[in-house]
Amino acid sequence: MNKIYPSAEAALKGIVQDGQLLAVGGFGLCGIPEALIEALKDSGVKNLTVISNNAGVDGFGLGKLLETRQIKKMIASYVGENKEFERQYLAGELELEFTPQGTLAEKLRAGGAGIPAFFTKTGVGTLVAEGKELREFDGETYVMERALLPEVALVKAYAADKSGNLQFRRTARNFNPAAAMAGKICVVEVEKIVETGEMDPDAVHLPGIYVHRIVLNATPEKRIEKRTLRAAVPVDAAAAKVEAQAVIAQAAAVDEVPVPKVPVNKQAGV
């Protein structure tokens, strides 16, 4: 079975449609399937419910789909970096289901593992638990959370072999494996494709049984969400020279300290 598609557009053809529940991997702008999101925008599908840790930023990532009004609802954990998201939500144009971050990850993982629901203490006594079943275990109250089963999952990995076995790169792994496992159809965007058998089995992070379609994007932009640089500190060369000379002099003074002689006790024969 050939899982390799020539483009992101071809990889989405025939599987995305209006009103779907989608999962999109990534955390901030780290590990997002850039080419697949762009292709989803170009497809014109609308009224989407999107599961993702966040909604990208203005003009990039899922932020592009917000600008084109293709998303009607977000199931997310953090949305604080997107002004258009804020505007739409406050104007009543966008639905939002806030979910604690760990709970969101577990809802996807449970969906991929065939677990329909689970109990967690997170959110008990807050708005998160309103309208949900509460149950007591060992004297503690837990809230029941339903698993998530997206119709399509769009994920990003570093490398894939032709069977769909995946490798992720460090923190870019984030929500991607859980989203891939939960999706009824999983489309993965990778920077590198190798022959089946070339990947060390011990280095496979997600087996190919979860992956249905693969598209190569060898040069993703990988935009940095917030670039923070330390201000340059001017160096006073003259002061640095004086300080260095002082350190050298101090070291020399320590070397010149005489070592005290041990008194000789002739009676003891020492």
Tell me whether residue 95 is in a domain.
yes
Express each pLDDT in 46-95 by its tens digit.
Answer: 999 999 999 999 999 999 999 999 999 999 999 888 899 999 999 999 99
What is the rounded distance in angstroms from the CA atom of residue 105 to the CA atom of residue 148? Answer: 10
Q: Rg of the chain's alpha carbons, rounded to an integer?
A: 28
Span 174-183, average pLDDT: 98
228 lies in a domain? no
Tell me the longest C-alpha to C-alpha distance in the chain: 103
Q: Which of 193, 213, 212, 194 has its CA nearest to residue 5?
A: 213
Tokens of 200: 């060390």
Residue 240 is predicted with a pLDDT of 77
User: Global pTM?
Assistant: 0.82
Residues 6+ apart with CB under 8 A from 219: 191
Instruction: Provide the number of structural domains found in the chain.
Output: 1
pLDDT at 201: 94
- Do the domain assignments include residue 170? yes
> Considering the domain boundaries, does residue 127 fall inside one?
no
- What is the structure's pLDDT at 265? 54
Contacts of 200 (CB under 8 A, 6+ apart): none
Task: Answer for the pair 199, 175: CB distance below 8 angstroms, yes or no.
Answer: no
Instruction: Tell me the mean pLDDT in the region 251-263.
Output: 54
Instruction: Judge whether 91 lies within some domain.
Output: yes
Which CATH number goes with the domain that contains 198?
A: 3.40.1080.10
Contact 64, 37 (CB under 8 A): yes
Domain span at residue 57?
Answer: 4-115+145-216
**pLDDT score of 175 more than 90:** yes
52 is a domain residue = yes
Residue 269: pLDDT above 70?
A: no
What's the whole-number average pLDDT of the chain? 91
Q: Does pLDDT of 138 surpass 50?
A: yes
Check residue 254 and give its pLDDT: 56
